[in-house]
């Protein structure tokens, strides 16, 4: 059986409840939010470690603030990381499940790495990290585990792009390897292309930090933070561009990705963003909001280009999600969209409370929004339970 026929045969026989483009749009959108938060966590941990090594007044103060940021950001990154993985499993299930099976031990270890990274970050925070104390070993271990988790997810992602290599991964010396203990693919330039932006995202946060705490800290310190943030964004963006070029050179020529309109669009947006970063260096805080918006747009456009690149790889074996069988289910689509909307409302409420609490506002307000968030979550639970019981009774699986 040809690899293309095998992949199509591996599709879910139930098909999709909605057009696949819907899932692909949310895949790109949620991945954008997820990678921004992952970058914020990785960059923050790196600065915390550097601050503890430097042991200077400004660095100690900054690392204390970052220790508060890390523990909440990891939580958000994990929550938002579930969504893109689910969407990948829906429209790219033959590729994703095969990659996970080939490296099953590492796919399971990924969850352990993430959990331990969160625990160690919390150990630093509770150990006095937010007061300028705490053992450096905790953020170091947290960062190391997050990078290891990144290597695992990177390897799985690249492995799924090369179905032509799957037989050689599964069978070695005429023996089927079922242990799943190997990682099979790794592309250093692709990996670094997702790591270097960690300092751009963290640098953007530092600029907002200098504006947010202008009434709490002295201007000299905040000016230092602001300049540090601006420099981090520029340098890391230039490094990302450099490894991006090297990654582009290593892509298979048959993909013709360099002439792809989506790549050209991403390239133009990235170059404009870098030009803007040079311009905003003299007064970063004045351009805090435009910088954040430009960064978000750039990451989103590059995420689209990344998705198009994935499609190009799969196109080499004759696969496209466009012809995935669809068994329309308006109800499930509406339920999904309403759940997504509810999640945004709840996260918005949490963000407002955190923002105002950080300002030292005892009465954070937003009571009505908070009550609405709790009500929405209870309604969601009740609706899901009712639907579950109804469907089970209808299909005769409950009794």
pLDDT digits (tens, 9 = 90+) for 8-64: 888 888 888 889 999 999 999 999 999 999 999 999 999 999 998 988 888 988 988
Q: State whether 130 and 198 are in the same domain.
A: yes
Q: pTM for this structure?
A: 0.90
Q: Is the dihedral of CA 74, 80, 83, 89 positive or negative?
A: negative
Long-range CB pairs of 383-391, under 8 A, 24+ apart, other chains included: 383/335, 387/335
Residue from 112, 117, 189, 198 nearest 158 by CA: 189
Domain stop point among 270, 301, 328: 328
Query: For 17, phi and psi rounded to 5 degrees?
Result: -80, -15
> Is pLDDT at 287 greater than 80 in this prediction?
yes
Q: State whether 133 and 116 are in the same domain.
A: yes
More confident residue, 393 or 362: 393
Q: Is the distance from CB of 118 to CB of 75 less than 8 angstroms?
A: yes
Q: State whether 224 and 367 are in the same domain.
A: no
Q: State whether 247 and 365 are in the same domain.
A: no
Number of domains in the chain: 2
pLDDT tens for 126-159 read 888 777 777 889 999 999 999 999 999 999 999 9
Which pLDDT belongs to residue 399? 63
Query: For 169, phi and psi rounded to 5 degrees?
Result: -75, -35
Q: State whether 313 and 368 are in the same domain.
A: no
User: Confidence class of residue 2 from pLDDT cuts 50, 70 and 90?
Assistant: confident
Helix (H) or strand (E) holding 364: none
Q: Is the dihedral of CA 377, 381, 382, 386 positive or negative?
A: positive
Domain stop point among 266, 300, 328: 328
Domain stop point among 328, 356, 384: 328
pLDDT tens for 79-98 read 889 889 999 999 999 999 99
> Is pLDDT at 358 greater than 80 in this prediction?
no
Which pLDDT belongs to residue 365? 66
Among the listed ranges 26-35, 180-189, 210-219, 273-282, which one has the minimum average pLDDT value? 210-219
DSSP state letter for 327 = -
What mean pLDDT is predicted for residues 346-375?
A: 78
Q: State whether 276 and 362 are in the same domain.
A: no
Q: State whether 46 and 183 are in the same domain.
A: yes
> Is pLDDT at 176 greater than 90 in this prediction?
no
Q: What residues make up the domain containing 377?
A: 330-399
Q: State whether 301 and 346 are in the same domain.
A: no
Residue from 26, 17, 28 nearest 309 by CA: 28
More confident residue, 218 or 306: 306
Q: State whether 169 and 315 are in the same domain.
A: yes
Q: State whether 290 and 199 are in the same domain.
A: yes
Count helices and strands in the chain by DSSP H and E runs: 14, 2
Which pLDDT belongs to residue 378? 93
Long-range CB pairs of 223-228, under 8 A, 24+ apart, other chains included: 224/58, 225/58, 225/62, 226/284, 226/285, 227/284, 228/203
What mean pLDDT is predicted for residues 365-371?
A: 80
What mean pLDDT is predicted for residues 225-242?
A: 95
Q: State whether 210 and 65 are in the same domain.
A: yes
More confident residue, 144 or 166: 144
Q: State whether 285 and 352 are in the same domain.
A: no
Looking at the chain, the whole-number percentage of residues with pLDDT higher than 70 is: 97
């Amino acid at each position: 059986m040809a690899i293309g026929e095998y992949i199509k045969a591996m599709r879910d026989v139930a098909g999709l409840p909605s057009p696949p483009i819907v899932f692909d749009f949310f895949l790109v959108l949620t991945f954008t939010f997820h990678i921004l938060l992952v970058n914020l966590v990785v960059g923050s941990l790196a600065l915390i470690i550097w601050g503890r090594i430097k042991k200077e007044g400004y660095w100690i103060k900054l690392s204390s603030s970052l220790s508060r940021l890390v523990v909440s950001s990891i939580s958000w990154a994990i929550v938002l990381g579930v969504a893109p993985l689910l969407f990948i499993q829906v429209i790219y299930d033959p590729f994703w499940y095969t990659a996970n099976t080939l490296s099953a031990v590492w796919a399971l270890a990924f969850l352990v790495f993430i959990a331990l990274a969160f625990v160690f970050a919390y150990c630093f925070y509770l150990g006095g990290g937010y007061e300028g104390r705490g053992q450096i070993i905790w953020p170091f271990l947290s960062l190391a585990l997050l990078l290891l988790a990144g290597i695992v997810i990177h390897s799985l992602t690249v492995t799924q792009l090369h179905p032509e290599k799957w037989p050689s991964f599964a069978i070695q010396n005429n023996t089927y390897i079922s242990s799943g203990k190997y990682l099979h693919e790794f592309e250093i330039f692709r990996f670094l292309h997702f790591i270097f932006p960690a300092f751009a995202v963290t640098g953007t946060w530092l600029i907002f930090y200098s504006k947010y705490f202008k009434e709490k800290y002295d201007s000299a310190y905040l000016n230092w933070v602001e300049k540090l943030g601006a420099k981090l964004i520029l340098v890391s963006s230039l490094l990302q561009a450099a490894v991006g070029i090297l990654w582009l050179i290593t892509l298979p020529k048959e993909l013709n990705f360099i002439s792809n309109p989506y790549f050209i669009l991403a390239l133009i947006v990235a170059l404009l963003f870098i030009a803007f970063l040079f311009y905003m260096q003299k007064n970063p805080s004045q351009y805090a909001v435009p910088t954040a918006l430009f960064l978000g747009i750039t990451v989103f456009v590059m995420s689209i280009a990344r998705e198009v690149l994935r499609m190009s790889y799969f196109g080499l074996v004759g696969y496209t999600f466009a012809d995935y069988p669809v068994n329309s289910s308006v109800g499930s689509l509406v339920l999904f969209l309403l759940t997504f909307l509810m999640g945004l409302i709840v996260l918005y409420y949490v963000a407002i409370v955190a923002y105002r609490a950080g300002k030292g506002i005892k009465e954070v307000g937003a009571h009505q929004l908070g009550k609405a968030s709790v009500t929405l979550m209870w309604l969601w639970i009740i609706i899901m339970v009712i639907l579950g019981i109804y469907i089970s009774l209808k299909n005769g699986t409950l009794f």
